[in-house]
Amino acid sequence: MRVSPGEQVTVKLSVNGIVHDVAVESRWLLSDVLRHQLGLTGTHVGCENGACGCCTVIVSGQPARACLLFAIQLEGAEIETVESLAAPDGELHPLQESFRRHHGLQCGFCTPGQLMNAKPLYRQAPEMPDCELRSALSGMICRCTGYQGIVDAVRDAARIEDEREDAK
Amino acid sequence: MTTSFVGSSIQRREDDRLLRGEGTFVDDIAMDNTLHAAFVRSEAAHALITGIDVTRALEIDGVVAVLTYDDLAGTPLAAPLRVSQPHPAIRHARTPYPLARDEVHHVGQPIAMVVARDRYIAEDAAAVVHVDYQHLPVAVDLVGAARGEDGPAHSDMDGNVYASLSEHVGDVDAVLAKAEHVFEYDLRYERAAGTPLEGRGLLATFDELGGRMRLWDSTQAPMMVCHGLAPLLGLEPEQIEVISPDVGGGFGTKAFQLYPEEALVPWAARWLGAPLKWIEDRKEAFVGSNQLRSQVTHVKVAVDGEGHLLALDVRYLHDNGAFCQFGILVPSVTASELSGQYRIPNLRFSFDAVYTNTTQCSPYRGSGQPYATFVVERMMDWVARDLGIDRAEIRRRNFIPPQGMPYDTGLSFPHGNRSVYDSGQYPAQFETLLEAIGYDGFAAEKAAAAAEGRRIGLGLTCYVDVGGTGPYESTKVTVLPDGSVSVVAATSDTGQGHETMYSQLVADQLGVPMERVRVTTGDSRRTQYGFGTWGSRTAAVGGSSAVQAAATVATKAKAIAARLLEVDAGDLELADGAVRVKGAAHVAVPLTELVIPARFGRTSGGESSPGLTAASYWSPSAMIFSSGAHGVVVEIDPETYDLNILRYVIAHDCGKVINPMLVRGQVLGGFAHGIADAFYERRHYDNAGQLLNQNLMGYLVPFASEIPQVEVRHMESSSPVSIHGVKGAGEAGSVPVPTAIASAIEDALGFPIDAMPQSPLTLFELAQRHGR
């Protein structure tokens, strides 16, 4: 398919389990389309060159930086954003709950990206040595917390989840 | 009082929305028909603009307007922006025109504003605006600029020094002339910047019928923006609604006002008759948002044979970048803390504030304080070395003792206060640190490491950190008809958890559950008098005003309840949402039943104003100082000169603690900024004034992998100045860190570390120079 500059084409974007028909220009970033076309403003934009990690979403199971992807590339992909984390009844995801308990956020700007980055790895976190966990979380800038709360939160999320399961 | 939220690690009320991605940052606000701005910025550090061609930009479909200086002629925006922190010592005030007139003074200075249907188109158009430059001499190096060898940064000046200030206590020259020992040292600190993850952002819309401007601004100081904008827009402050919504970090960068964009966007929104949005991108943030830290110092210190400080003479240069909208605030803050934690009977400072063709400077977390700490504490290490006295012992011999509080350093502080330390327990705090870091056993530890070929070193530093900066802060507390409580604070939250903090304070005063308190911050529709969130001041100054306002409401409530219950007001207390008789909780009136009597003034028991409401504009009567001591053990790789922090201890006293979890968060967050300042972050300019690292791949903000775990020991010296004993915690975590790291690297490698930040490369070069 050849798309001219300025021309809009309709793509099917699967975001948080809902398929949207979205008209996009070829150069529109996934981060912009999520925020401004779909109104999913939980995905934040910190640098637009892939360095800070704020805009991290999950694309087909893997964390990815939404500012480094064009929306037009993503027909057929499964995109998950921070808005998908809490349960339908509103209960916070164990990761979200853990960030709250461990003061893993201050201004909250990097938080959605931190959560989506940690989602595929938090089940393994309790077994990881501190340096390994910090290394797994690196590439994600938080300018407020000094990271200790984030490290503690990711490490403790699986336990919170297991506790909830046991209570059911 | 039965409830007590103050002192508890209560979880944050802000978190739920932020965790769900439901926060409201400026760019999250969508209005129909919004236009978008992008800026054409100077590519030259210093040049005359000889031509601007906007023809191609205007031809692009979707472009609405391209504004240059000429389009602003005849408006208040055709003049340079104001100096918002004036000082009589400023001899040559230079501030930017919102859009450059004929001369540009740093890379990144706005030259033209493009407005278009969307941001993509606005950037396309900005890219094809052609600017012709006639290049002028450039001043970048601080020393060269100060001597007049480089530049001038402004072609209408002969040199680059725009202000000089000096002050002294005692007779420094006489003591230096006859002291047993006089030592001289040179020190240097380089440029960094706050770098909040959310850049600056603005959304402005003008209501023509109502004559009201509404501006959502990612700022730390919305009330200052409101008052600063009024003359530029020809409106009264009451007609300008500046709202600081969720703000993605500030660290001082957003405490500045006015930035050129902050004037242009609302003005253009009104002119165009449409909502106008500008969201700073990362590259703009690197060249257009303020920076800080470069200073160069020469120190002369007189001591006796036992290491007692007799006189200190500090001369320094301060680099303020291209302009001085904040006057000489930063070097003055440095000056105010040159006594450190020590008795220094004879003290003198003098500084020159200097322009360079680099991005303008204004406070970044700690303002001038990290530099004061660096100068004083490195000096203490070196005097100890030169006299052969232990580093800890020389500090013990010079501490201001607790019984010496309040201690007048004899120095001034900006805003007209004197630098008087209100309280502190410096010696005990230091001993706590030494024990926790393992100071006594370290010599053996270092020797054992050396035997294995490892280079480890221990660093020490003490510090003071000003908290309760005036002039005042305002809070209004109101019991609403449904019994809930409204708190309106003029300060703006940028991640500190103010909603939680204010709720704790007010809930305690009024005896209501925290969830019955609703907090509004940073909204000039609700209050116009206040200064904002900076300088570790909100909990101390804003918090005091909240406590005072709530206490006034409590007094009113008791007076009315006393009449209704026919008891003495002194026998009443507020608890469980009611006013009740102490010791007879069943004799009570709910707050809800006091709202109406309070509104009908005459039944309110002679109170001075109607309503269960009170506003406080609380001013600190003196300065408030937090304090602490940091200790660190580092290992330096002998091959790569990489830094590994083996352990780090913070002994910290920020007075009374409202919420230990939030204070810990501030300390650890500040600590990470300190580590960044010590070893990772530096804005590198070349000799032509080009910033070489204009993105987060070249400017190294540390990740979790660079920030070690920290042990924090809290002490508590309640402030006698603030109403509730609070001092302030926002900056103290970062202020001393580079100094502690410098001290430790020096101990590990055995040569002086007199400049920060360091890096593996600079340490390697130093080692070569010292023949190691």
Tell me if A56 is assigned to some domain: yes
Over the stretch B173-227, which tens digit does the pLDDT of each residue have? 999 999 999 999 999 999 999 999 999 999 999 999 999 999 999 999 999 999 9
Q: Which residues does chain B have within 8 Å of residue A31's beta carbon, measured at their own beta carbons?
A: none
Across the interface, whether the CB atoms of B696 and A110 are under 8 A apart is answered no
Provide the shortest C-alpha distance from residue A76 to chain B (in Å): 24
Tell me if A144 is assigned to some domain: yes
Q: B34-84+96-135+197-288 — its CATH code?
A: 3.90.1170.50
Across the interface, whether the CB atoms of B23 and A108 are under 8 A apart is answered yes
Question: Could you tell me if A157 and A121 lie in one domain?
Answer: yes
Of A84, A105, A133, the residue at which a domain comes to its end is A84
Tell me if A157 is assigned to some domain: yes
Over the stretch B676-698, which tens digit does the pLDDT of each residue have? 999 999 999 999 999 999 999 99
Question: Could you tell me which chain B residue has the CA closest to the CA of A106?
Answer: B495
Question: Could you tell me which chain A residue has the CA closest to the CA of B286?
Answer: A47
Q: Which residues does chain A have within 8 Å of residue B642's beta carbon, measured at their own beta carbons?
A: none
Which of A39, A41, A146 lies nearest to residue B668, judging by beta carbons? Answer: A146
When pLDDT is averaged across residues B562-580 and rounded to a whole number, the result is: 95
Least confident of B377-391, B542-556, B601-615: B601-615
Question: Could you tell me if A109 and A150 lie in one domain?
Answer: yes
For chain B, positions 644-673, list CB contacts with chain A under 8 A. 661-662, 664-665, 668-672
Q: How far apart are CA A48 and CA A66, in angstroms?
A: 9
Q: Which fold has domain B137-189+293-388?
A: Aldehyde Oxidoreductase; domain 4 (3.30.365)
Question: Could you tell me if A163 and A108 lie in one domain?
Answer: yes
Give the strand order in the sheet containing A56-59.
A18-25, A8-15, A78-80, A56-59, A62-65
Provide the shortest C-alpha distance from residue B578 to chain A (in Å): 31
Given a cut of 60, whether residue B758 has pLDDT beyond it is: yes
Strand blocks (E) in B523-624:
572-575, 578-581, 584-590, 613-618
Residue ranges of chain B assigned to CATH 3.90.1170.50: 34-84+96-135+197-288
Question: Could you tell me which chain A residue has the CA closest to the CA of B496?
Answer: A106
For chain A, positions 28-47, list CB contacts with chain B under 8 A. 28, 35-36, 39-47
Q: How is domain B422-468+622-772 classified at the architecture level of CATH?
A: 2-Layer Sandwich (3.30)
How confident is the model at residue B607, as a pLDDT? 62
Helix (H, G, I), strand (E, B) or coil at B164: strand
Q: Which residues does chain A have within 8 Å of residue B701's beta carbon, measured at their own beta carbons?
A: 52, 141, 143
Helix (H, G, I), strand (E, B) or coil at B458: strand
Which of A115, A137, A143 lies nearest to residue B249, judging by beta carbons? Answer: A143
The number of residues in chain B equals: 772
Across the interface, whether the CB atoms of B703 and A106 are under 8 A apart is answered no
Q: How far apart are CA B86 and CA B327, in angstroms?
A: 5
Provide the shortest C-alpha distance from residue A12 to chain B (in Å): 22
Question: Could you tell me if A70 and A16 lie in one domain?
Answer: yes
Which of B23, B670, B704 lies nearest to residue A147, judging by beta carbons? Answer: B704
Tell me if A89 is assigned to some domain: no
Q: Per the structure, how many domains does chain A have?
A: 2
For chain B, positions 6-45, list CB contacts with chain A under 8 A. 11-12, 14-23, 25, 27-28, 30
How confident is the model at residue B599, as a pLDDT? 86
How confident is the model at residue B416, as a pLDDT? 73
Question: Could you tell me if A110 and A136 lie in one domain?
Answer: yes
Question: Could you tell me if A146 and A123 lie in one domain?
Answer: yes
Under the banding of pLDDT at 50, 70 and 90, the label for residue B609 is: confident
Of A60, A84, A108, the residue at which a domain comes to its end is A84
The reply to whether B282 touches chain A by the CB within 8 Å rule is yes
The reply to whether B639 touches chain A by the CB within 8 Å rule is no
Question: Could you tell me which chain A residue has the CA closest to the CA of B34?
Answer: A36
- The percentage of chain B sitting over the pLDDT mark of 70, rounded to a whole number, equals 99
The reply to whether B704 touches chain A by the CB within 8 Å rule is yes
Question: Could you tell me if A71 and A22 lie in one domain?
Answer: yes
Provide the shortest C-alpha distance from residue A55 to chain B (in Å): 11
Tell me if A1 is assigned to some domain: no
Query: Range of A23's domain?
Result: 8-84
Q: How far apart are CA B559 and CA B71, in angstroms?
A: 60
How confident is the model at residue B3, as a pLDDT? 57
Q: How far apart are CA A125 and CA A103, in angstroms?
A: 18
Question: Could you tell me which chain B residue has the CA closest to the CA of A29?
Answer: B120
Question: Could you tell me if A44 and A103 lie in one domain?
Answer: no
Provide the shortest C-alpha distance from residue A72 to chain B (in Å): 16
Q: Are A81 and A40 in contact (CB under 8 A)?
A: yes
Q: How far apart are CA B337 and CA B463, in angstroms?
A: 9
Supply the CATH number for residue A55's domain.
3.10.20.30
Over the stretch B705-733, which tens digit does the pLDDT of each residue have? 999 999 999 999 999 999 999 999 999 99
Strand blocks (E) in B136-180:
161-169
A interface mutation test: which of B9, B13, B14, B20 has the most A CBs within 10 A?
Answer: B20
Given a cut of 50, whether residue B398 has pLDDT beyond it is: yes
User: Which residues, 6+ apart, have CB-to-CB distance to B682 below 8 Å?
Assistant: B190, B191, B192, B693, B699, B757, B759
Tell me if A42 is assigned to some domain: yes
Under the banding of pLDDT at 50, 70 and 90, the label for residue B386 is: very high
Provide the shortest C-alpha distance from residue A140 to chain B (in Å): 6
The reply to whether A142 touches chain B by the CB within 8 Å rule is yes
Question: Could you tell me which chain A residue has the CA closest to the CA of B27?
Answer: A41
Question: Could you tell me if A79 and A107 lie in one domain?
Answer: no
Q: Tell me which residue has tokens 């200190």.
A: B312
Across the interface, whether the CB atoms of A137 and B30 are under 8 A apart is answered no
**Pair of tokens at residue B423:** 């309280």
Q: How far apart are CA A159 and CA A162, in angstroms?
A: 5
The reply to whether A62 touches chain B by the CB within 8 Å rule is no
How confident is the model at residue B597, as a pLDDT? 87
Residues of chain A with pLDDT under 70: none
Question: Could you tell me if A65 and A112 lie in one domain?
Answer: no
Given a cut of 50, whether residue B118 has pLDDT beyond it is: yes
Which of B247, B661, B703 lies nearest to residue A139, judging by beta carbons? Answer: B703
Provide the shortest C-alpha distance from residue A26 to chain B (in Å): 12
Q: How far apart are CA B285 and CA B283, in angstroms?
A: 5
Under the banding of pLDDT at 50, 70 and 90, the label for residue B601 is: low
Tell me if A2 is assigned to some domain: no
The reply to whether A17 touches chain B by the CB within 8 Å rule is no
Tell me if A126 is assigned to some domain: yes
Q: How is domain B15-21+470-618 classified at the architecture level of CATH?
A: 2-Layer Sandwich (3.30)
* Angle, CA A142 vertex, CA B461 and CA A52 arms, to 5°: 125
The reply to whether A137 touches chain B by the CB within 8 Å rule is yes
Peptide bond before residue B258 is cis, with ω within 30 degrees of 0: yes
Using DSSP bridges, classify how beta strands B455-466 and B473-479 pair: parallel, antiparallel or unpaired.
Answer: unpaired
Given a cut of 80, whether residue B74 has pLDDT beyond it is: yes
The reply to whether B705 touches chain A by the CB within 8 Å rule is yes
Across the interface, whether the CB atoms of A107 and B710 are under 8 A apart is answered no
Residue B287's φ and ψ, nearest 5 degrees, are -110, -15
Q: Are B506 and B664 in contact (CB under 8 A)?
A: no
Provide the shortest C-alpha distance from residue B710 to chain A (in Å): 9
Provide the shortest C-alpha distance from residue B364 to chain A (in Å): 13
Helix (H, G, I), strand (E, B) or coil at A92: coil
The reply to whether B522 touches chain A by the CB within 8 Å rule is no
Under the banding of pLDDT at 50, 70 and 90, the label for residue B418 is: confident
- Average pLDDT value over all residues in chain B: 96
The reply to whether B742 touches chain A by the CB within 8 Å rule is no
Question: Could you tell me if A63 and A107 lie in one domain?
Answer: no
DSSP A83: G
What is the identity of the amino acid at A48? E
Question: Could you tell me if A80 and A143 lie in one domain?
Answer: no
When pLDDT is averaged across residues B534-555 and rounded to a whole number, the result is: 96
Counting one residue from A and one from B, how many pairs have CB atoms under 8 Å apart? 176
Across the interface, whether the CB atoms of A141 and B661 are under 8 A apart is answered no
How confident is the model at residue B1, as a pLDDT? 44
B258 by Cβ neighbours in 10 Å (0-12 / 13-18 / 19+) ranks as: buried
Given a cut of 50, whether residue B653 has pLDDT beyond it is: yes
Residue B436's φ and ψ, nearest 5 degrees, are -70, -35
Supply the CATH number for residue A121's domain.
1.10.150.120
The reply to whether A84 touches chain B by the CB within 8 Å rule is no
Of A49, A84, A119, the residue at which a domain comes to its end is A84
- The percentage of chain B sitting over the pLDDT mark of 90, rounded to a whole number, equals 95
The reply to whether A128 touches chain B by the CB within 8 Å rule is no
